[in-house]
Amino acid sequence: MLRLSPAAPAGSPRKVSRRALPGILALAFAASVAVTVLCGNATASMGAMPMPGGWTPSMAWMRMGGQGWPAAARGFLLMWMPMTAAMMLPSLGPVLSRYGRTLACAGVRRPGRVMSAAALGYFLVWAALGAAIYPFGAALAQAAMGHRWLAHGVAFVAPMVVMLAGALQFTAWKARRLACCRAAPGAMPTPPGSMAAGLRRGVRLGLECACCCGNLMAVSLVAGMMDLRAMVAVTLAITAERLLPAGERVARGVGLLAVGAGVLLTVHAVSGGWHLRP
């Protein structure tokens, strides 16, 4: 007698989750972009006093009147996380899709939940990074407002950060990190299917990603926290070097652009006509 293996029903959770993933990622990206734009417009509308050296501090680093440091840090993270999601989801989406296919081919039940855990682990890394960055950025902004010499110094340090970020694009270290990110999630013949395993995978992916594009994220920070033009430029650079063919050549091209931008910003800083928003 011919025995047929049971076919999965048309509405099985695995098929639904695989079909729904692109839509879910698109919705998450659209929501994060919308929140980022709203936060960027809100901080821009607050206004900030131009500093000596021709730059204007971003209000994202500032405490409101009577606001304590814990509340200020929470407010920063509420802006940082949508911004990070908007910048990273274009390159993270294909990685999650490959991970989901790997899980499905291995027969893992409920791959959507494991992928969700991986996404959570990934963004937990970026949340921790934002929490670590905020005290330094807020302290620098506050100190620069009280010391004229430091305000002048910031106008020259920021272009150096941009040029250094561009120079790192040419290093073997960057090439290795980029190769890891482009190959993610890696070859896993029988990946663990638990949510804890997905969370660990996401944390590892987040750490690899932060190491790979940390220099470009630094550019977006010194070019203006919540500055939409800087975020778009950095997002395009990160996505291009991750997804386009010949990623190493793309990364070097991005490096050339960053070094050139740093030189131009230095010239503007010397001439006193530069309006950066660190």
| Domain-located, residue 6 | no
| Domain-located, residue 256 | yes
Question: Do 173 and 94 touch, CB atoms closer than 8 A?
Answer: no
Look up residue 203 and give its amino acid: V
| Domain-located, residue 201 | yes
| Domain-located, residue 3 | no
Q: Rounded to an integer, what distance in angstroms lies between the CA atom of residue 106 and that of residue 189?
A: 7
pLDDT at 56: 66
pLDDT at 165: 95
| Domain-located, residue 8 | no
Q: Rounded to an integer, what distance in angstroms lies between the CA atom of residue 264 and that of residue 274?
A: 10
Look up residue 30 and give its amino acid: A
Number of domains in the chain: 1
The secondary structure of 237-275 as a DSSP string is HHHHHHHSSSHHHHHHHHHHHHHHHHHHHHHHHHHT---
Q: Decide: helix, strand or coil at residue 201.
A: helix
pTM here? Answer: 0.83
Q: Please give the residue range of the domain that contains residue 99.
A: 13-271
| Domain-located, residue 95 | yes
Helix (H) or strand (E) holding 168: helix 148-168
The tens place of each residue's pLDDT in the chain, 278 residues long, gives 334 434 444 444 444 455 677 788 889 999 999 998 888 777 766 655 666 656 666 777 777 767 787 888 888 999 999 999 999 999 998 888 888 888 878 777 788 888 889 999 999 999 999 999 998 888 887 787 777 777 777 778 888 999 999 999 999 999 999 988 887 654 444 456 678 888 998 999 999 999 999 999 999 888 877 788 889 999 999 999 999 988 899 999 999 999 999 998 888 777 764 444 44
| Domain-located, residue 276 | no
| Domain-located, residue 181 | yes
Q: Facing residues of 55 across strands?
A: 51
